Amino acid sequence: MTVLADLLISIFERTYKRVSDPITFDQRPLSELAHELVSTRSETRVLTLAREILSRYHLLDAAGKARFFSDVAQQLNLDPTRVRETLFDYERSPSRRTYRAYTEAAEPKRQEFIRRLNQMPGATEQLVKMRSDLLALATQDPNIDALDLDFLHLFSSWFNRGFLVLRPINWQSPAHILEKIIAYEAVHAIQNWDDLRRRLEPTDRRCYAFFHPSMPDEPLIFVEIALTQGIPNSIQSVLSQDRTPLLTQEADTAVFYSISNCQSGLMGVSFGNFLIKQVAADLALGLPNLSTFVTLSPIPDLSKWAEKNAIVPCDTLSPSEVAATYLLDAKNSAGHPLDPVARFHLGNGAIIHAIHESADTSDKGIAQSYGTMVNYLYDFDVVEKKHEMFFNKRLISATSTVSAKAERARKTISDERP
Amino acid sequence: MTVLADLLISIFERTYKRVSDPITFDQRPLSELAHELVSTRSETRVLTLAREILSRYHLLDAAGKARFFSDVAQQLNLDPTRVRETLFDYERSPSRRTYRAYTEAAEPKRQEFIRRLNQMPGATEQLVKMRSDLLALATQDPNIDALDLDFLHLFSSWFNRGFLVLRPINWQSPAHILEKIIAYEAVHAIQNWDDLRRRLEPTDRRCYAFFHPSMPDEPLIFVEIALTQGIPNSIQSVLSQDRTPLLTQEADTAVFYSISNCQSGLMGVSFGNFLIKQVAADLALGLPNLSTFVTLSPIPDLSKWAEKNAIVPCDTLSPSEVAATYLLDAKNSAGHPLDPVARFHLGNGAIIHAIHESADTSDKGIAQSYGTMVNYLYDFDVVEKKHEMFFNKRLISATSTVSAKAERARKTISDERP
Amino acid sequence: MTVLADLLISIFERTYKRVSDPITFDQRPLSELAHELVSTRSETRVLTLAREILSRYHLLDAAGKARFFSDVAQQLNLDPTRVRETLFDYERSPSRRTYRAYTEAAEPKRQEFIRRLNQMPGATEQLVKMRSDLLALATQDPNIDALDLDFLHLFSSWFNRGFLVLRPINWQSPAHILEKIIAYEAVHAIQNWDDLRRRLEPTDRRCYAFFHPSMPDEPLIFVEIALTQGIPNSIQSVLSQDRTPLLTQEADTAVFYSISNCQSGLMGVSFGNFLIKQVAADLALGLPNLSTFVTLSPIPDLSKWAEKNAIVPCDTLSPSEVAATYLLDAKNSAGHPLDPVARFHLGNGAIIHAIHESADTSDKGIAQSYGTMVNYLYDFDVVEKKHEMFFNKRLISATSTVSAKAERARKTISDERP
Amino acid sequence: MTVLADLLISIFERTYKRVSDPITFDQRPLSELAHELVSTRSETRVLTLAREILSRYHLLDAAGKARFFSDVAQQLNLDPTRVRETLFDYERSPSRRTYRAYTEAAEPKRQEFIRRLNQMPGATEQLVKMRSDLLALATQDPNIDALDLDFLHLFSSWFNRGFLVLRPINWQSPAHILEKIIAYEAVHAIQNWDDLRRRLEPTDRRCYAFFHPSMPDEPLIFVEIALTQGIPNSIQSVLSQDRTPLLTQEADTAVFYSISNCQSGLMGVSFGNFLIKQVAADLALGLPNLSTFVTLSPIPDLSKWAEKNAIVPCDTLSPSEVAATYLLDAKNSAGHPLDPVARFHLGNGAIIHAIHESADTSDKGIAQSYGTMVNYLYDFDVVEKKHEMFFNKRLISATSTVSAKAERARKTISDERP
């Protein structure tokens, strides 16, 4: 506890020291510095080089960054011959020495490059941004692809669930964090500070984020929660400006109405499942009256799918029936739901509890899903079992009401398609 | 800043939650669980399995642990055929898919096993202890050696310098941290709490440790510092119980008189160089009167070496002359100083400033080095240059006084050895 | 240090407990409860009564509050007869017993009433608001006046300088504190969150506030500072949206450009002098390049005074000459400057360094002072001496430039007034 | 929350600044400085004088301190004539001015003296120590008595319950706080750090202390708690070194087995009642299985009373019968229990639940109470009612078992005393 209080002071001091630290740049090309970085045996040199590379990278334009990635990806690429040789040596005579030689050869130097950049305090955040730049390039270069996978490999290790810290976000949180919540909210946009306050301050609102100790100013993912009586059937009722907040102890339901990933550079490292379960545990601990944990989720690509498949709502087919068949029947190549939100929650072990019409009457809501929204219900007693059925047997759990809607939709469709 | 204050609360709460978390053990063998752990695609299952494996491991006796390591090392070993196949595929047709297949095959599943264990909050500390157990086995089994290198590989990535936090340790620090300082002090033993207080509380004492955010209760390495006027020539004067503490502003010298690594499980991950430099920077910032940064260091194996080489102190050869030639002339196979302490400080770019006799008159001091000790001086203006000379040219810097002592020793020895 | 980290946790928990604490109100009149509060010997009863009185007070309308103050002021008034009797007893036979009886009688029960209300955790803030209500009544009732003085007496003791804590306010500060900075800024209004950020985030901006540990969410007074090169001559240059922030180490001057008291209920308890000196000390410690500490201050009533005295700027009399004679020559009945801002800074030992025209070209600035502003310079080597000259000899220190302006003004005025 | 995290940093910085602050002493007598302190209108002067007076006071020997108290007490005494005059003026013409004049005259300047000393940051702790010195003088001087009451008056206001902060003390607490727990434990002495750890670290132990924000390093009062199954009947069982700690959730009873006041200078300011109730609330919140809150208390003067009244244990009179009649029947002049511990807990609304023999078999326990101890039970549903019966009707609540013991004792005594 105290240890972290001291951490606090360390970080504080760092803020002030950062100021007086001018860097004199080496004039050599970045690729040369990169080469030296992975080769040097001097820890001091590692720091100096890491600092220069990151500083100079930061000043590059898009083309310069692309060239940098391309140079690094190629120059620090795998040496297949060396992999084979060391593997052969290790097989012939397994020992500490031969194994070490193999592991060093089997991993492209790109990974050691990234790890060594990360030795500089504060580098992690910059590396996450670096991968974000790389992803934005959207090239088809297999070397760049490999570099991206190298980043992903290391990030998966560093942003390991065991290293993450869950923290409540509220109106007492620091402004520089809150402005990021405003910026990163991806589901129901936050207009301004007043709007933000309405999401955080009332007694029936909660928000949590995951942080990594090396990026204490950057949320990784956050979830916004409404405490309600009963399960809500529209986002309008949840976000209404006129509503009277519930007293905390009156609430029986926690509604996860928005989950936003914050770091595009961490694409592929998943936090959401842990977030929901840990937040639910935290809420349950503090609010023993809560008995229901549920989402109020969008169906982002419903209308796109419906139009493509000519299954649009009409007199004989309600929007929620269309939604039901979409969620239950439309699958991707792996046999999982086509809808990414459904895939996420069902994969976590949730069930489709209800589908509501006129649930998101914003322009965006109407456009993307005819105004429909879904409640995914997390019943933590069966979540593990549902999760396994989902992955092992491709089974989707839904309430009978939802199943009936899908059934009606299927029937209508088959009736109309001779 | 605030973010870390919240961290504090998270950790605090965790303490209280830990209590009510009974585990029902699966009955299958650990090796079976290990296999499932690296194979499952369910994040929830990962957590459950990691928790069970770590809990059950904890209860094993030494033989059980040895068997566990052996099983894991073998069962999750590399598949050379698969490495070759995927490498071949990747070479023939480099793509995201083939690269991913290669990287997965090229890395033994042992690493993924360790990474997945680490997903459990609090696991990092247990994994460090696990490797400590493994090192204690001291087997010659190449599979176990490989497992150890896998641990080391991951720990080097996780205990990356950029993730470490430097914190002052003082009499205001929490008792559970301080008791570890007592336990881990490896150079000049701390007898009890009163002795500890004498090392921490006076105005002319400082102590710093590196911590990792995922092990906030475990220091990784710490250094004890005395603030003095001038460079001290004996540990007795530094640790004397009767001395009157200096006022902080009167000190011109910071003496690093003890550096202790705390985690045997982190053997091979080096922190000391960074520690000294960051501590010196921190001290300099707060105490502008400090102009000299120096160690007062033991020469652990001097007498062992002297006896082996029949260069023991005598009428014509003083202990400090023996020490001088040992430090300057005795080399290991890499051409670096035989003395590990010298190797460390000279490798960091320090110079041998002075050698003192009767500097450690404790039984241990007399036994290991005839009572001699060394000051290694850190002159941060030239540290980088010295460091490079040391590594690139095997050059050792010493003051003329020290060099003269070595020269006299060499002469005496050659005179006496016809 | 840790102690306060724990404090943090206590406060945090309090937040959550506050929720579930319903109060059942007693039905008796408040004045009856007030009487019981000062009479009861039960500590538990004190808490219950304090809570009810404060809760019910909170619900009163203005008339109800006025009646409440009037009732308390009268009912818990001094009993002069009892003062005389106990004083007589004490004089005749001074003892612990007689002294205690006297001190109890000599102090009106109103003070004990306020002290006992304050036993409830969180009451201090409510009592400060209560006095704010009382001051707003602006009655001429001598009993109410006495009650106000009783509040002031206790507040002076509780908001003692030794109990206050100075804290930096920055963009990392919690939103609920920052919104109060926006609300309380009294000199140069902060328009919105973006404007606030411009005052806090750049490297050349600082802000500090005094807090009381019992009101951790309420700043008492705060000061905004610009770090500059040289002394600025207009608020426009200081607050310009387009300026490029200085690097911290380039600044040689700290400009106190806005000081705002936050709590009207603390009127008469002065913090400003301590604030400036402690902030200057803190800045000097962290920024050794700072050599000048100066204000950029308004002259709130200049034009009002000028018009009343027919000394308005004209062809022969510049605005800054008018300002100079106002600041140096216009005095209140105590012989101190009429201008409250001048009185404050000169009383603290500052000197009038410069008067600038077109220094505040906002409507407010033109209206109140023809656009002029003043720099009061704090030279901490002579501040104490200046302070004493100001109080003991009514001497005002000013630079020769300022004095010359005043002299020209005096001459012009006397020339034109035959 | 954040606000207090910042506090933390402020305090931290203070630690480091304290170093470089040499004071040049004025040479005038302390009484002269005291006079100037209460007279000056300069806030800066107040700080300078306060600092000098406190520093020089600190260096005085016992005789010097006695003289200092005597000088201050006399010199800053009440002026009865002025009290009468100002009271007369106020009665004749009640106004803000006349009331202010009266309140200034009615209060001896000693109080303003203490208040002004307290303006120096860190002074509160020194003033508490000062009163401790004063109490130790144990003079009969009525002026000194009055000075003591002046201290008490201000301390009651400053150490107001609303200003106190409750904090858990555990093995994570800072060493400099823990060493004070060792020093201040007044009931069952703590031998050393190992003993302390046994009181704090096990899962079934708790400790809490009240702190004042201006003395963050000094606990005011603390209580040690054992979590047990059922109500314990001896301190040996509670403190046994061999016991196996309970899992927290297995405990149904919280036993307050030691309460210690830490600051003799705060004698007469009571915290204990609040402490017990707030701690019980905190424990109940975190440990819902707790259903019983009880003490295990000593009977400090039982044997002294028994011998004086010739009611010592014998064949026909057990120690617990003697204890029962002592607790229920022996009263002081106010009609309250003679036993101070009973007076405290019964005054808080507890009831006498049980008396145990051989409950404290230490030398001290046998000597003071024949080895007996008492459980006072806090039933928070009736605590308020019991409290009122105790104060209003002098009623003591006890279980029938205890009452029966007392009855038997009374009978035996009356039988044997013809």
Query: Contact C1/B174, CB-based, under 8 Å?
Result: no
Are A325 and A409 within 8 A, CB to CB? yes
Residues of B at the C interface, defined by Cβ within 8 angstroms: 1-2, 5, 8-9, 12, 172-174
CA distance A139 to A57: 19
Q: Which pair of tokens denotes residue A323?
A: 């939604």
In this complex, how many residue pairs, one in chain A and one in chain B, have their CB atoms less than 8 Å apart? 222
CA distance C266 to B259: 53
In this complex, how many residue pairs, one in chain A and one in chain D, have their CB atoms less than 8 Å apart? 17
C174 contacts on D by Cβ (under 8 Å): 1-3
Of D2, D12, D174, the CB nearest to A9: D12
Instruction: Please tell me the distance in Å from B251's CA to the nearest CA on chain A.
Output: 23
A150 contacts on B by Cβ (under 8 Å): 103
Is the pLDDT at D1 greater than 50? The verdict is: no
Above pLDDT 70, what percent of chain B? 94
Cα end-to-end span (Å), chain B:
69
pLDDT in tens, B6-39: 443 333 333 333 333 445 677 799 999 999 999 9
Are B225 and B286 within 8 A, CB to CB? no
A203 contacts on C by Cβ (under 8 Å): 19
B216 contacts on C by Cβ (under 8 Å): none
Sorting pLDDT into bands at 50, 70 and 90, what band is D416?
confident
Tally of residues, chain C: 418
Provide long-range contacts, Cβ within 8 A and 24+ apart, for A56-60.
A56/A25, A56/A30, A57/A30, A57/A126, A57/A130, A58/A126
Bridge partners for D373 per DSSP: D356
| Range with the largest mean pLDDT of A3-12, B46-55, C6-15 | B46-55
Bridge partners for C168 per DSSP: C208
CA distance B213 to C75: 60
C123 contacts on D by Cβ (under 8 Å): 162
> What pLDDT score does B1 carry?
28
Of A115, A142, A166, the CB nearest to B94: A142
Residues of A at the C interface, defined by Cβ within 8 angstroms: 1-2, 5-6, 16, 19-20, 171-176, 178, 192-193, 197, 203, 247-249, 286
> What pLDDT score does B45 carry?
84
Mean pLDDT score of chain B: 90
Run of H or E including B376: strand B373-378
CA distance C412 to A41: 79
pLDDT in tens, D19-35: 334 456 778 999 999 99
User: What's the CA dihedral at D227, D232, D237, D241 to 10 degrees?
Assistant: 10
Q: Looking at the annotation, which residues of C are catalytic?
A: 297, 345
CA distance C118 to C51: 10
Q: Which residue is listed with tokens 């300026």?
A: C243
Cα end-to-end span (Å), chain C:
69
Is the pLDDT at C13 greater than 60? The verdict is: no
Are C267 and C149 within 8 A, CB to CB? no
**Phi, psi (rounded to 5 degrees) for A333:** -65, -25
CA distance B43 to A161: 10
Tell me which DSSP letter residue C363 carries: H
Which of B345, B353, B356, B369 is the catalytic position?
B345
Is the pLDDT at D8 greater than 50? The verdict is: no
Of C6, C20, C247, the CB nearest to A19: C247
pLDDT in tens, C72-83: 999 999 999 999
- Nearest partner of D265 among D119, D132, D114, judged by Cα: D132
pLDDT in tens, A95-147: 999 999 999 999 999 999 999 999 988 899 999 999 999 999 877 888 999 99
pLDDT in tens, A304-347: 999 999 999 999 999 999 999 999 999 999 999 999 999 999 99
Residue of A nearest to B126 (CA): A162
Tell me which DSSP letter residue D264 carries: G
CA distance B107 to B109: 6
Residues 6+ apart with CB under 8 A from C149: D96, D99, D100, D103
Q: How far is CA D30 from CA A24, B242, B284, D58, in A?
A: 59, 34, 40, 12
> What pLDDT score does D418 carry?
62
Are A135 and A264 within 8 A, CB to CB? yes
Are D339 and D299 within 8 A, CB to CB? yes
Over the range D45-57, which residues count as b (16 or more CB within 10 Å of their CB) and which as e? bbbbbbbbbbebb
Find chains touching chain D: ≥3 CB pairs under 8 Å.
Answer: A, B, C
Find chains touching chain B: ≥3 CB pairs under 8 Å.
Answer: A, C, D
pLDDT in tens, B334-383: 999 999 999 999 999 999 999 999 999 999 999 999 999 999 999 999 99
Query: Contact C174/A174, CB-based, under 8 Å?
Result: yes
Are B242 and B280 within 8 A, CB to CB? no
pTM recorded for the entire structure: 0.88
Give me the DSSP letters along B189-223: ---SHHHHHHHHSSTTEEEEEEE-TT-TT--SEEE
Residue type, B29: P
> What pLDDT score does D10 carry?
39
- Nearest partner of B219 among B149, B275, B257, judged by Cα: B275
Are A245 and A283 within 8 A, CB to CB? no
> What pLDDT score does A43 carry?
80
Are C200 and A196 within 8 A, CB to CB? no
Give me the DSSP letters along C122-144: THHHHHHHHHHHHHHH----HHH
Query: Contact D9/A5, CB-based, under 8 Å?
Result: no
Q: Which pair of tokens denotes residue A373?
A: 């929204």
Mean pLDDT for the stretch of residues D103-124: 94
CA distance D337 to B16: 40
> What pLDDT score does C23 carry?
57
Query: Contact B83/A87, CB-based, under 8 Å?
Result: yes
Q: Mean pLDDT lowest for which of B271-280, C256-265, C369-378? A: B271-280
Mean pLDDT for the stretch of residues A244-268: 94
The interface predicted TM-score (ipTM) is: 0.87
**Widest CA span in chain B:** 77
Is the pLDDT at C139 greater than 90? The verdict is: no
Of C2, C96, C174, the CB nearest to D2: C174
Mean pLDDT for the stretch of residues D29-45: 90
Sorting pLDDT into bands at 50, 70 and 90, what band is C6?
very low
Q: Cα C281–C287–C293 angle (5° rounding)?
A: 55
Q: How far is CA B358 from CA B233, B366, B367, C392, in A?
A: 9, 8, 12, 65
CA A184 to chain CA centroid, nearest Å: 11
> What pLDDT score does A94 carry?
93
> What pLDDT score does B384 carry?
87
CA distance D155 to C115: 12
Which of A345, A353, A369, A397 is the catalytic position?
A345
Give the SS3 label for residue A271. Answer: coil
Q: Mean pLDDT lowest for which of B169-178, C109-118, D133-142, D288-297? A: D133-142
Tally of residues, chain A: 418
Is the pLDDT at A9 greater than 70? The verdict is: no
CA distance B190 to B207: 13
C15 contacts on B by Cβ (under 8 Å): none
> What pLDDT score does D353 carry?
98
Q: How far is CA B227 from CA B16, B273, B349, C131, D402, in A?
A: 40, 20, 22, 53, 64
A178 contacts on C by Cβ (under 8 Å): 175
pLDDT in tens, A217-251: 999 999 999 999 999 999 999 999 888 999 888 99
Is the pLDDT at B392 greater than 80? The verdict is: yes
- Nearest partner of A273 among A335, A343, A215, A189, judged by Cα: A343
Bridge partners for B223 per DSSP: B208, B259
CA distance C158 to D115: 9
> What pLDDT score does A18 carry?
35
Q: How far is CA B228 from CA A316, B167, B205, B250, in A?
A: 90, 22, 9, 8
CA distance C384 to D328: 65
> What pLDDT score does D23 carry?
57
CA distance A34 to A49: 8
> What pLDDT score does B8 carry?
36
For helices A193-200 and A175-184, the axis angle rounded to 10 degrees is 100
CA distance D238 to D192: 18
Mean pLDDT for the stretch of residues D359-382: 96
**Phi, psi (rounded to 5 degrees) for D226:** -110, 135
Give the SS3 label for residue C56. Answer: helix
pLDDT in tens, B149-195: 999 999 999 998 888 888 999 999 999 999 999 999 988 999 999 99
Of A2, A6, A178, the CB nearest to C175: A178
> What pLDDT score does A418 carry?
62
Q: Which residue is listed with tokens 């209800």?
A: A354
> What pLDDT score does C292 carry?
96
CA distance C138 to B259: 68
Above pLDDT 90, what percent of chain A? 76
CB atoms closer than 10 angstroms to residue A223? 21
Residues of B at the D interface, defined by Cβ within 8 angstroms: 1-2, 5-6, 9, 16, 19-20, 171-176, 178, 192-193, 197, 203, 247-249, 286
Run of H or E including D402: helix D400-416
The answer to whether residue A345 is catalytic is yes
